[in-house]
Structure 1
């Protein structure tokens, strides 16, 4: 660092990255785009680094990630000190959550603190959540990876069990003998997106060879579940989501070999932040009630 970093400059960096452009950041901060540009130039001069790529959307550089992490942390702590009528202002905590947790246990867990903490939830595959922590985009994350990010703590939340599920008619047609290697090589499979490896993880474990079954891509946790119930393909559903469908006989488990347990972890920056502490406590308690 070549000089002192001004708070307004750090806030501008965070806004530019969050909003995706200098113009959107200006609107968010209620200043002119010219002022945003001037603050960014001053911050880059003070740090001696190019902090963002002027793309659409704006992205943080590797050198800028360290400054962005500082900007997020300082902004969170400063906003918690701003009084309104003698009360602490509810502050937004950026948190990364995977789609299945978001659709099942996460929101019920944090609903009780929503009047004291503003949620800024970013949906991301649990395997990639830590990248958001490292580049400063998030202050906390639910992740299947237990590696500790520098400056953060990590704790085990619990386990989500996934089972290979299909509509009864689909299972009867494609899996008459259960989860056999030949059936998995031929049966259409539903995947959340091209980063979703859970189904292929099961396929590799059972077949022990490279196979390329027909694939449907259905993003969205609820849509993914519905596509399986409609018989579009088979897929891995968490127990927290499949229960009602099993009770109504909309889906059934293909076989006991098709079970995968995913251990989830809670990562958070080590800050003396009441809002972050409140959110973390709620997440851990909710996980204790809902996860294995």
Structure 2
């Protein structure tokens, strides 16, 4: 059985950004903190920290830190913890949800001191962090739950293939010829982003030849408005640009609906249950 005093020492080093500050937070000497972490690593037979500046968790350390956070949540739900400020919720979400409807769902009045650590992955691959035990919940496009997990559908996010009017004129895309589409550069959020590929496959049975990689949801839209390329953008996020005529459809009437799902562990703490209900409520108000 793991000694939770040792886990708390490891967590303090990660959360405080170093051994000295961890010692101050735990009212221990720096040597005592180091000894507890060494004892934990000896018990497990492998390191839990990378001794960098600041220290970082190994893959095992991340899973243990996540586990400790779940224990803290359960204690808070049972009113056994006097430190709700210690709660850190680690979730993985897709960038387009984070830039549109999701932030409102993270405001939980029941837990005003709750802290979030949000990692961003493409909606097609975000579930891998949950499978690795790094996060407590995941928002992604996969409907298949992980072992020990459950999943609930949230709705669909609608994407449209958009570009600036000048871009369409420059590449003669209004003609609708597949050769013109293939020659025109497209915008891709990351190497996992395949929405543009799906669009071209649907309308012309081809693959893009030229891509710009832009890992910023807002930068993606600004680049399209500037005429750098075309891309698949969430209708929810680009309504002002559509109304102003800054962006127009490459293929009028075409849209691609991406389903979104909330993944959570079946052994759910009261904090995570509250978060899940908030996410579901926000999604039903924003998504199709």
TM-score (norm. length: structure 1): 0.82
Deviations 1:206-245 (A, max 9, x none): 34344412x2222211111111111111011101012111
Aligned residue pairs: how many? Answer: 282
C-alpha displacement at 1:272, in angstroms?
A: 4.4
What corresponds to 2:174 in structure 1?
A: 176
Contact 1:165–1:252, Cα closer than 8 Å, also in 2: yes
C-alpha displacement at 1:254, in angstroms?
A: 0.9
Deviating more after overlay: 51-60 vs 72-81: 51-60
C-alpha displacement at 1:177, in angstroms?
A: 1.5
Question: For the residues of structure 2 that align with 1:74 and 1:18, how far apart are their CA atoms?
Answer: 16
Give the 3 Å change call, closer, same or farther, for CA 68–125 of structure 1 in structure 2: same
Deviations 1:164-220 (A, max 9, x none): 001111122221223x4212211011122333222123223434344412x222221
Matches within 5 A, 1:121-136: 121-136=118-133
Question: For the residues of structure 2 that align with 1:127 and 1:253, how far apart are their CA atoms?
Answer: 24
Contact 1:14–1:72, Cα closer than 8 Å, also in 2: no
Give the 3 Å change call, closer, same or farther, for CA 29–236 of structure 1 in structure 2: farther
What corresponds to 1:222 in structure 2?
A: 218
Matches within 5 A, 1:5-154: 5-14=2-11, 23=19, 26=22, 29=25, 34-51=31-48, 58-61=56-59, 67-80=64-77, 81-83=80-82, 91-111=87-107, 113=109, 115=112, 117-154=114-151
Question: For the residues of structure 1 that align with 2:105 and 2:194, how far apart are their CA atoms?
Answer: 27
What corresponds to 2:235 in structure 1?
A: 239
- 3-state DSSP of counterpart to 1:83: coil
Q: State the Cα RMSD in Å.
A: 3.0
Q: Which residues of structure 2 form unaligned runs of 5+?
A: none
C-alpha displacement at 1:290, in angstroms?
A: 0.6
Question: For the residues of structure 1 that align with 2:64 and 2:199, how far apart are their CA atoms?
Answer: 40
What corresponds to 2:282 in structure 1?
A: 286
Deviations 1:56-86 (A, max 9, x none): 873534x6665454333223323553237xx
Name which of 190, 195, 200 aligns with 2:192.
Answer: 195
Give the 3 Å change call, closer, same or farther, for CA 66–223 of structure 1 in structure 2: closer
Give the 3 Å change call, closer, same or farther, for CA 184–239 of structure 1 in structure 2: same
Deviations 1:237-259 (A, max 9, x none): 10101211111111111114742
What corresponds to 1:163 in structure 2?
A: 160
Name which of 180, 183, 186 aligns with 1:186.
Answer: 183
Whether 1:267 and 2:263 are equivalent positions in the alignment is yes
- 3-state DSSP of counterpart to 1:146: coil
Question: For the residues of structure 2 that align with 1:13 and 1:161, how far apart are their CA atoms?
Answer: 42
Deviations 1:94-134 (A, max 9, x none): 12121100011101233354736433322222233222212
Deviations 1:130-159 (A, max 9, x none): 222123321111111122122221111110
Give the 3 Å change call, closer, same or farther, for CA 143–33 of structure 1 in structure 2: farther
Question: For the residues of structure 1 that align with 2:124 and 2:29, how far apart are their CA atoms?
Answer: 38
